[in-house]
Chains A and B, each alone.
Chain A
Amino acid sequence: MKETKIFEKPKSMVDVTTHYCPGCTHGVAHRLVAEIIDELGIQEKTVAVAPVGCAVFLYNYINVDAYEAAHGRAPAVASACKRLLPDHIVFSYQGDGDLASIGMAEIVHAANRGEHITVVFLNNAIYGMTGGQMAPTTLVGQKATTCPLGRDPKLAGYPIRMCEMLSTLQAPAYIARVSVAKPKYTLKAKEALRKAFQTQIDGKGFSFVEILSTCPTNWGLRPVDATNWLEEHMMPEFPLGEFKTPA
């Protein structure tokens, strides 16, 4: 009987166990990025910029040249790297605390300059690594360790919608929001990531993919319940779709 291989680990993915919690979707997002790197044949000329947060060890899982940036500053690191190595493909991978809170200035200005980088933005509406504190993306009423009664918009404002905000800028070329909570979303997420990296390869400018993700541990939900919670609560607040596509 002839055997056909239909599934294998991406070549640019390191063969180790990740440190992510059960049910966390970072692993899926990592894998999608690695698959795209393989499919585009760019492993040896790709540079990753890891954030501070759960994805701090991104470089332990994806085998490309990499920086570990200071908290929130990945877009500044990536901007400079790309300017000096224009033939390389440079991406940052950041969570919502890193990108939408401490790193808000860096992401807005990198986008506004139209830097030829790709930003992968994992939004799970909470600080994961530090143990479940309120994030700028935490939903109204959602409980976190620093808003134990739920986010009160009178005190803490409302969730920041990064895709919508960045889409007001003229320079960005590709902006999309996807999810990896369930397979039907994951397939679309991969296509968005492909477009984002292709945008950079084609020299069309700044690309940004927000991935709605689960954090079962800090949400206090079982993994399957977390995927349902994401669909029911996060998706209405953060609608999926493409906000900008290259001309």
Chain B
Amino acid sequence: MGKRFLMKGNEALAEAAIHAGCKYFFGYPITPQNEIPEYMSKKLPEIGGVYLQAESEVAAINMIFGAAGTGKRVMTSSSSPGVSLMSEGISYIAGAELPCVLMNIMRGGPGLGGILPSQSDYFQATRGGGHGDYRLLVLAPSTVQEAVDLTMLAFDLAEKYRSPVMILADGFMGQMMEAVEFNETHMDGLPDPAEWAVGYMKQRGSRALVKSLYLDPEELEAHNWKLQAKYAEMTKNEKRHESYLADDAEILIAAYGTVARIARTAINELRAEGVKVGLFRPISLFPFPYEPLEALPKSVKQILTVEMSCGQMIEDIRLGVGKDMPVSMYGRVGGMTPSVEEIKDQVRKALGR
């Protein structure tokens, strides 16, 4: 086991990015993710990197466009309203096929909303956010250690698919402290930026163009199909989920991120009472792991989705299980969090006990 550090989630996310080889950060302050840029502003100059505070999230994401176009490992972080502002730029980045890592430490919305934890940007993260037919690879950690591991994976996946990858966490994940270790991983066979990025004209003998503009409709259609083929590859290769005590369960709780760990405690306590309840936890939100839902254990008679939203991930759960499996929803929003007791009550209610 490597050396362990007690770290706040936001700082661990930043440190994990540095371990992944990210030396370039562009961002704009917003609660509850400020520890990420603060950490980067201290650490990156020490390792010959760049920390630049943009004048807005709009500028920050376009700086990411410029930085990612050089093929180096770059990232930004923000929280819900800031990610809305970045969404146009994320669409351009996806269109231009630039690798980068984006972190959304979600807070309650809509509008200015609040600053407390929420999961109400699920649709925004998995259904686009910006304009056009594009997808983000979205990873949702439920512990600080998993946030560290997924951040390192995110940089590799971003390069592998030349695509933006989002770490979707909430204010709890950003603010809680846990012990973590940094186990660096390296994916083999990643594309060489010299093949496509700016800055290699002399070496390559031809210039690079970083753009999302295709005025010829036939070219734009072909570009779209190329992107779709890439998303199909992601869908084939990058689905991740965890099942917990699902094999003999009568009822499955579906939850991700912070809510999944609250649900886990509720499940342990209910199991002690003899209630057969398990957990389905998607880790990749796009691509969504539908297959385990399509082939549930025979014992499972219903699903209870628990989210810190009014019901967003539930749509993917329904897509997975089909119309014959009952799916109910329990959500707390606006910075309110479902408690262990509330989840236990919901399970008992669903089972008619």
Contact = CB atoms under 8 A, between A and B. Distances in A.
B66 A64 contact: no
A79 B202 contact: no
Contacts of B89: 70, 73
Interface string B194-213: 00001111100001111111
B207 A80 contact: no
A68 B26 contact: no
Contacts of B72: 84
A113 to B, nearest CB: 8
Contact of B66 (A56, A59, A63, A80): A80
Contacts of B54: 76, 109
B130 to A, nearest CB: 11
B293 interface: no
A240 interface: no
B198 A45 contact: no
Nearest to A67: B210
A108 B66 CA distance: 18
A66 B70 CA distance: 11
B62 interface: yes
B265 to A, nearest CB: 43
Contacts, number: 114
Given A67-B210, A67-B211, A77 B66 contact: yes
A50 B213 CA distance: 11
B52 A79 contact: yes
Contacts of A108: 55
Contacts of A66: 198, 207-211
Interface string A51-71: 000001001000111111110
A44 interface: yes
Q: Per DSSP, are chain B's interface residues mostly helix, strand or loop, or mixed? A: mixed
B69 A106 contact: no
Interface in A164-222: none
Contacts of B69: 67, 77, 81
A105 interface: yes
Contact of B207 (A65, A69, A85): A65
A63 B207 contact: yes
Nearest to A46: B201
A66 B3 CA distance: 44
Contacts of B208: 65-66
Contacts of B211: 50, 59, 66-68
B30 interface: no
A50 B70 CA distance: 16
Interface residues of A, number: 31
B223 to A, nearest CB: 13
A109 B88 CA distance: 20
Nearest to A85: B199
Interface residues on B, range: 35 or more
Contacts of A67: 65-66, 69, 198, 209-211
A203 to B, nearest CB: 16
B201 A80 contact: no
Interface in B25-62: 26, 50, 52, 54-56, 58-60, 62
B64 interface: yes
Contact of A68 (B55, B63, B209): B209
A230 interface: no
A84 B72 CA distance: 8
A70 B89 CA distance: 7
A233 interface: no
Given A66-B209, A68-B209, A80 B67 contact: yes
Contacts of A70: 62, 65, 88-89, 92
Nearest to B51: A83
A60 to B, nearest CB: 9
Given A68-B213, A84-B50, A106 B62 contact: yes
28 contacts: A43-B201, A47-B199, A50-B211, A56-B213, A59-B209, A65-B199, A65-B200, A65-B201, A66-B210, A66-B211, A67-B69, A69-B62, A70-B62, A70-B89, A70-B92, A76-B66, A77-B66, A77-B69, A79-B63, A80-B64, A80-B66, A80-B67, A83-B67, A84-B66, A105-B55, A105-B56, A109-B54, A109-B59
Closest 5 CB pairs of A and B: A68-B211, A80-B66, A77-B66, A73-B62, A80-B63
Given A70-B65, A79-B66, 20 more contacts: A45-B201, A45-B202, A47-B198, A65-B199, A65-B209, A66-B208, A67-B210, A70-B89, A73-B58, A73-B62, A76-B65, A77-B63, A78-B66, A80-B24, A81-B66, A84-B67, A84-B72, A85-B198, A105-B56, A106-B55
Interface of A: 43-45, 47, 49-50, 56, 59, 63-70, 73, 76-81, 83-85, 88, 105-106, 108-109
